[in-house]
Amino acid sequence: MSQDIWLPDGIRRPSPNFNLRPDPLMVDLLVIHNISLPPGQFGGDDIERFFTNCLDHSRHPFFKEIEGLEVSAHALIHRDGRVTQFVPLNKRAWHAGRSVFQGRENCNDFSIGIELEGSDNCPYSPQQYQSLAQVTCEICDYYPKITTDRIVGHSDIAPGRKTDPGPAFDWVRYRNSVASS
């Protein structure tokens, strides 16, 4: 796969925070995250600015805490269901950090990272579940090694360090939506 893979319905907002995968054909994991900037606040473009290294760190005290971090995800699903893609699926986004899945470290090497605009304890919107199911199916079309048992939360690959997508994420609803898509 030498050509970059972009989701057909996503808004492209390229991030500089990515690099090449060690083996682009070995993508076999989907990781679900959540993010809100500032924490607990939704809307605006702060997440997009953060993933593209354009965040004004003087605008909020929390932004000072994340200044200098270079992170990204393959895509962000906003509260209204819009999808913004930052990194082509065939490239390595910087979303997982220190992580391990089934004995394999550095999950960024072999995973796709999807961020949901949200927080651990705030219910996600119906539009987000709908878009996440659609995006999941599209990703699985590109990467058939990603099966339902290879879709995890950030908390599953970085236990004790990460808690997202949190208890508010309805795994049953999500898996049922994927199955019916």
What number of CA atoms fall less than 13 Å from residue 153's CA on the CB side? 22
Give the tokens for residue 108: 């960024």
Return all residues near 17 (Cβ < 8 A) that are at least 6 apart.
51, 53, 70, 71, 72, 86, 87, 93, 94
Amino acid at 37: L
Amino acid at 172: V
Catalytic residue numbers read 115
Measured distance CA(87)–CA(90) in Å, rounded: 8
Smallest CA-to-CA distance from 34 within 128, 106, 98, 104 is with 128
> What distance lies between CA 148 and its chain's CA centroid?
16
Smallest CA-to-CA distance from 83 within 174, 32, 6, 10 is with 10
